Structure 1
């Protein structure tokens, strides 16, 4: 039986309640069953993300892999479908899948992520190149980003009273225009959906590969928000914020072969939506104020 990390157990139970307790209780047995099913042997301690555990393993043929088991949640349903569509192109390879148990056997990668790259421009270029590789025709049945447009517009309008205490009206109007003009009709392309820098990892087969996709059908320019978030911790002053972020977004757009203006607009809209989320979540780290500043200079 595996030993579950205590921090993961606590966070899962806190977030999911009784359902989380039941899943945690079943998880050691579930992992054992999957190891037997896929003829794998654990080779290291259990790691974890926010919603699942990852067990490094050795396969029957001697190759390495990781067993990932996620908490059953609608947001995790399309992850294996995205991996299968990419077939290792820009993403880790999917070796086995058990959709009913939210389990996958995946290519093993390093623990170094794009967060560790100090050159912001290079990180933006990596994200752009990865986005271009991932933009394949979306498999049938995936959730569509266009279906979120109405809710996003409603969220911004509902929060406009609060937002207008912190940003000019043109900042809110620009985000609303993007969602109205670009959000409701989007390309039928596969989009990662959660392409922050911690989900771009060093690998042996390729320099960088993505992990943990949500899997949506839509406009790849939506993932430009990752460039804003990824480099935020390295901003030195508000004076240079506009030029710095705009340059990185341009680098991302060119590497992804996307229209610069479309990338800029989606980045601005998602940044303001992030500010709304942060204020609703009580914003203990001042995230909302920073996001509002960024959304304003991107307008």
Structure 2
């Protein structure tokens, strides 16, 4: 029986309450059942991400793999659908899947992530090329980014009004306009949805493989949002550096640079208003405002 990591227990209970505690109580048994069902042998200690545990295993014949069991939430439904659609092209392979138990057996990726590559431009080239390869026809039952863009527009307008217009109206208006425009065009393409450097791991059969997709249908330019979101606040010469790296990503992904920038701008305004409402530093909000001012 696995030992569920203590940090994961605390985070899940804090986020999900009693439902999370009940799921955690049953989790070792769910893992044991999956091991028996798929003929797996434990090969290491359980690790965890934000919403699930990942257990190193070996399949019949000794092939290394990982067993992932996620908290049963609607936001986790599309992950196996995305992985199945990619069939190992730029992503880890889905080897087994139990939809009811939110359990998957996945190809084991190598050690190291794209986050460890020192050159920012090189990182964006790799991410852009992967984004292009992942933009296949989306499977049925994957949520649409149209809803995300509409929700952002509503959230931005609501917070700006409720907080007494802490941001310049022109900036907020442009973000809302961008969200409405982005929502209007959503192609039938599969989008990772959380393409950040930690979710791109080294592989053996391919140089890089993505993991942990949210799975959306819509505009691949959306994936620029999370690549640099946690790095805006550390960039020297922010506007110039960010503009250049977004241009690199757009070129590598064969995307319209203006759409890439518009997604990032809208997200930056949303984040700036969130920072104001929840008491983050004024400096952090100011950085998000600066990102919102980059040109397409």
Q: TM-score, normalised by structure 1?
A: 0.93
Alignment of 1:1-299 (within 5 A): 1-161=1-161, 162=163, 164-165=165-166, 167-229=167-229, 231-232=231-232, 234-236=234-236, 240-283=237-280, 287-298=284-295
Moved more, 120-129 or 275-284: 275-284
Q: Tell me the alpha carbon deviations over residues 184-230 of structure 1, each in whole angstroms, 9 at most, x when there is no partner.
A: 33111001111122111111121111111111110000111123325
Moved more, 32-41 or 105-114: 105-114
Q: Tell me the alpha carbon deviations over residues 30-54 of structure 1, each in whole angstroms, 9 at most, x when there is no partner.
A: 1011011111111111100011000
Q: Distance in 1 between matches of 2:60 and 2:228?
A: 42
Q: Distance in 2 between matches of 1:29 and 1:230?
A: 36
Shift of 1:234: 4.4
Q: Distance in 2 between matches of 1:281 and 1:114?
A: 31
- C-alpha contact (below 8 Å) 1:197/1:230 kept by paired residues: no
> Measured at CA, do residues 278 and 61 of structure 1 come closer, stay the same or move farther in structure 2, by a change above 3 Å?
farther
- C-alpha contact (below 8 Å) 2:233/2:287 kept by paired residues: no
Q: Distance in 1 between matches of 2:270 and 2:204?
A: 36
Shift of 1:146: 0.8
- C-alpha contact (below 8 Å) 1:227/1:248 kept by paired residues: no
> Measured at CA, do residues 270 and 79 of structure 1 come closer, stay the same or move farther in structure 2, by a change above 3 Å?
same
Q: Distance in 2 between matches of 1:204 and 1:134?
A: 18
**What secondary structure is seen at the aligned counterpart in 2 of 1:213?**
coil
Q: Distance in 2 between matches of 1:54 and 1:247?
A: 36
**What secondary structure is seen at the aligned counterpart in 2 of 1:214?**
coil
**What secondary structure is seen at the aligned counterpart in 2 of 1:297?**
coil
- C-alpha contact (below 8 Å) 2:78/2:141 kept by paired residues: no
Shift of 1:5: 0.8
**What secondary structure is seen at the aligned counterpart in 2 of 1:106?**
strand
- C-alpha contact (below 8 Å) 1:196/1:230 kept by paired residues: no
Q: Distance in 2 between matches of 1:267 and 1:275?
A: 12
- C-alpha contact (below 8 Å) 2:221/2:263 kept by paired residues: yes
Structure 2: state its 5+ residue gaps. none
> Measured at CA, do residues 294 and 35 of structure 1 come closer, stay the same or move farther in structure 2, by a change above 3 Å?
same
User: Number of aligned pairs?
Assistant: 295
**What secondary structure is seen at the aligned counterpart in 2 of 1:101?**
coil
- C-alpha contact (below 8 Å) 2:96/2:104 kept by paired residues: yes
Q: Tell me the alpha carbon deviations over residues 256-297 of structure 1, each in whole angstroms, 9 at most, x when there is no partner.
A: 000111111111112222333444444379643432221123
**What secondary structure is seen at the aligned counterpart in 1 of 2:229?**
helix
- C-alpha contact (below 8 Å) 2:111/2:201 kept by paired residues: yes
**What secondary structure is seen at the aligned counterpart in 1 of 2:193?**
coil
Structure 1: state its 5+ residue gaps. none
Q: Distance in 1 between matches of 2:164 and 2:246?
A: 24
- C-alpha contact (below 8 Å) 1:190/1:215 kept by paired residues: yes
**What secondary structure is seen at the aligned counterpart in 1 of 2:293?**
helix
Q: Distance in 1 between matches of 2:164 and 2:273?
A: 8
- C-alpha contact (below 8 Å) 1:115/1:230 kept by paired residues: no
Q: Distance in 2 between matches of 1:286 and 1:65?
A: 44
